[in-house]
Structure 1
Amino acid sequence: MAEEGRFYNADWMGSLPASLTKMPLSFLAVPGSHDSFSYWIDVNAPVGPDQPQAVKQFTGVFRSLGRKMMKKWSATQSLTFNEQLEAGIRYFDLRVSSMEGDPGNDIYFLHGLYGMKVQEGMAAINSFLNEHTREVVFLDFNHHYAMADECHIRLIKMLQEIFGPKLCSTMPVESITLQYLWSSKYQVLIFYHHPLAHSYSFLWPGATIPAPWANTADVTKLVQFLEATRGERPRNGTFHVTQAILTPRFKNVVRGLVGGLKGSLVERSLPVIMEWVKSQKPGASGVNIITSDFIELDDFATSVINLNNLLLEENSIT
Structure 2
Amino acid sequence: MAMSTKKDERKITSYCDWMSQLPVELHDIPLYDLAIPGSHDSMSYDLDIDSPIIEPDRLKILSKIYCARKIVRKWATTQEETITKQLDAGVRYFDLRIARKARDSNATQLYFHHGLYTHTDVETVLKEIKDWAERHPKEILILALSNFKGFDKAIAAQLHKHLIGFIKTLFGAKLIHIRDKLTLRSCWDKGKNVIVSYDYPTTQHGDIWSKIPYFYGDTMNTTKLESKLRHVLETARPVKYFFVCGLNLTLPGDFRILQYILRLCDNLANVIRRGLPRLLLWVKQQAAKTPMNIVASDLVTRNDFVKTVIELNALKSVRA
Q: In the aligned structure 1, how far is the partner of 2:298 from the partner of 2:215?
A: 16
Q: In the aligned structure 1, how far is the partner of 2:238 from the partner of 2:96?
A: 25
2:48 is aligned with 1:42: yes
Matched residue of 2:213: which SS?
coil
Matches within 5 A, 1:139-288: 139-147=143-151, 148-171=156-179, 175-195=181-201, 197-206=202-211, 209-234=212-237, 236-249=239-252, 250-263=257-270, 265-281=271-287, 286-288=291-293
Q: By how many angstroms is 1:260 displaced? A: 1.2
Q: By how many angstroms is 1:253 displaced? A: 2.5
Find the counterpart in structure 2 of residue 305 from structure 1: 310
One-letter identity of the residue aligned with 2:308: S
Question: Is the 1:26–1:238 Cα contact (8 Å) retained in structure 2?
Answer: yes
Q: In the aligned structure 1, how far is the partner of 2:237 from the partner of 2:226?
A: 19
Question: Is the 1:210–1:238 Cα contact (8 Å) retained in structure 2?
Answer: no
| Cα deviation code 1:167-199 (max 9, x no counterpart) | 111127xx410111111111111111112x112
Q: In the aligned structure 2, how far is the partner of 1:159 from the partner of 1:64?
A: 35
Q: Which runs of 5+ in 1 are unaligned?
A: 2-6
Q: In the aligned structure 2, how far is the partner of 1:117 from the partner of 1:155?
A: 12
Q: Which runs of 5+ in 2 are unaligned?
A: 2-12
Q: In the aligned structure 1, how far is the partner of 2:173 from the partner of 2:258?
A: 48
- 2:59 aligns with one of 55, 60, 71: 55
Over aligned residues, Cα RMSD in angstroms?
Answer: 1.8
Find the counterpart in structure 1 of residue 8 from structure 2: none
Question: Is the 1:223–1:273 Cα contact (8 Å) retained in structure 2?
Answer: yes
Residues matched between the structures, number: 299
Q: By how many angstroms is 1:237 displaced? A: 3.6
Find the counterpart in structure 2 of residue 122 from structure 1: 126
- 2:34 aligns with one of 28, 32, 41: 28
Q: In the aligned structure 2, how far is the partner of 1:234 from the partner of 1:215?
A: 17
TM-score by length of 1: 0.89
TM-score by length of 2: 0.89
Q: In the aligned structure 1, how far is the partner of 2:168 from the partner of 2:316?
A: 34
Q: By how many angstroms is 1:165 displaced? A: 0.9
Q: By how many angstroms is 1:255 displaced? A: 4.3
- 2:72 aligns with one of 70, 73, 78: 70
Matched residue of 1:227: which SS?
helix
Q: By how many angstroms is 1:251 displaced? A: 3.5
| Cα deviation code 1:172-228 (max 9, x no counterpart) | 7xx410111111111111111112x1121111111xx21123111111000101111
Over 3 Å counting, the alpha-carbon distance change for 1:136 and 1:108 in structure 2 is same
Q: By how many angstroms is 1:104 displaced? A: 2.3
Q: By how many angstroms is 1:59 displaced? A: 2.9
Q: By how many angstroms is 1:259 displaced? A: 2.2
Over 3 Å counting, the alpha-carbon distance change for 1:128 and 1:229 in structure 2 is same
Q: In the aligned structure 1, how far is the partner of 2:18 from the partner of 2:138?
A: 9
Question: Is the 1:29–1:282 Cα contact (8 Å) retained in structure 2?
Answer: no
Matched residue of 2:172: which SS?
helix
- 1:294 aligns with one of 275, 294, 299: 299
Find the counterpart in structure 2 of residue 132 from structure 1: 136
Aligned-pair identity (%): 32
